Amino acid sequence: MAARAPRRLGTMPVMTAPPGTLVLCPEFAFLLHATRWPHDAKAIETIRHAAAAIRDPARLIALARRHHVTGLVARAVGHCEGLADTPLRRELRQDALDLAEEQFRQLLQTRQTVAALRAHDVPVAVLKGAPAALTIYGEVGVRTSIDIDLLIARKDLERAHEVLSQVGYERSEPPCDATARQLGAVSRYGKDWAYDHEHSDTGIELHWRLFQNPRLLGHVGVGDAVDAVVSPGITLPVLPRDLGTLYLTAHGAEHAWSRLKWLADLAAVLRQEPGAADRLVTDAAANGIEHMTMAALLLCHELYAAPLPEKDCTALAQEWRTRKLLDIARASLIGEQDGTELEDRAMATTRKNLGHYLFSSDPRYWWRELTYDLFHDAGADHSRSLAGRVIKRIVNVMRLPSARAAS
């Protein structure tokens, strides 16, 4: 994909992608067109044109699964007569049917779990998941959700744990036999407990804060939730729309936008709501995370032609932290375009994690990020001393330039 022409932000042009940096294989290019929502007449025409260039169906399927967008890609392939009755279409169609069935189960599980928690006076909010899919896309079977994310107050954690145990969930992380030291480390440095269900593939992440770093949207709590009708007959407590968009952006940035699913969600929201980009960058600035947010907006514009803020954001877009976060996101998202997970690429997670230090200018944020990196696994058994772990992290940082050159 050729780099776009400079985009004017206020009074000065900003190049959203350096010339020659975005060289996409036909399968990844198709993925971008397939995940641009909605699939209106113009989008379908573009999808069909991109489909003609597909040379490696196996790569397309691998990319769709790696980026958790099989539902959207199956829908796009369904628009292409040239792909009718092909193994590609049949395999993606089955993935989409499985996804739709799983999302219906997730929606019912979410409603039942919320009802159980509320019945025991545990206030709760639903993050992302099936409600987000229905809000953004208007239907199930389009957006992939792996688990159910619930937000509660920290003081209600033990009571919520008991409720989940009563309705068939078992804590998997930290494990049920975790020591007091392990539980203390998770409580201090983590953000959630993970649960599996005895009769479902969908687990629960029970959050007491949104992110490991309490300085990242740490003020957002279950009290901010509002009840919303997410489907006929189903009302669930969710974050208000603008706050939900800010969380969606911070969540994607925390993972360096390594899955196209998250970026497609944000691009769809930006296209659906006039002024959403301006509100988002304003809210981000109020929370001290404007650089990560501007990088996300630039990437959305670059890959999806999503709207940029109308207000003058030129200085923010050109600021070095924004540009560095944009570079990290591009590398994490696009990678080798072969379906390889971020964790399986040399030094990719180290680069992603170091990018977290660019999110905020607050020294208190940096301190919490550093203590998490050094001590979050303090409850586990280690073959290395604390000094050994520090040295290992320093070595990883020093290896970054050579790893980047090799990748």
Q: Is residue 113 part of a domain?
A: yes
Q: Is residue 207 part of a domain?
A: yes
pLDDT at 282: 98
| Pairing outcome for strands 200-207 and 147-151 | parallel
CB 10 within 8 A of CB 311: yes
The number of domains in the chain is 1
pLDDT at 84: 87
Q: Which domain holds residue 235?
A: 101-239
pLDDT by 10s per residue, the chain, length 407 = 444 444 455 443 444 554 445 789 999 999 999 999 999 999 999 999 999 999 999 999 999 999 999 999 999 999 999 998 899 999 999 999 999 999 999 999 999 999 999 999 999 999 998 899 999 999 888 898 889 999 999 999 999 999 999 999 999 999 999 888 888 888 888 999 999 998 888 899 999 999 999 999 999 999 999 999 998 889 999 999 999 999 999 999 999 999 999 999 999 999 999 999 999 999 999 999 999 999 999 999 999 999 999 999 999 999 999 999 999 999 999 988 988 888 888 778 888 999 999 999 999 999 999 888 887 665 554 445 666 766 666 665 555 454 444 44
Separation between Cα atoms, residue 342 and residue 350, nearest integer Å: 10
CATH number of the domain at 183, please: 3.30.460
CB 145 within 8 A of CB 107: no
Q: Where are the beta strands (DSSP E) in 128-280?
A: 147-151, 169-173, 192-197, 200-207, 226-231, 234-238
pLDDT at 90: 94
pLDDT at 199: 85
Q: Is residue 343 part of a domain?
A: no
Q: Is residue 44 part of a domain?
A: no
Closest C-alpha to 36, from 234, 271, 195: 271
Q: Is residue 7 part of a domain?
A: no
Angle at 72 between CA 69 and CA 73, to 5 degrees: 80
Q: Is residue 179 part of a domain?
A: yes
Q: Is residue 362 part of a domain?
A: no
Q: Is residue 174 part of a domain?
A: yes
> Hey, CA dihedral for 320, 322, 323, 328, is it positive or negative?
positive
pLDDT at 402: 47
pLDDT at 185: 83
The 3-state DSSP class for residue 149 equals strand
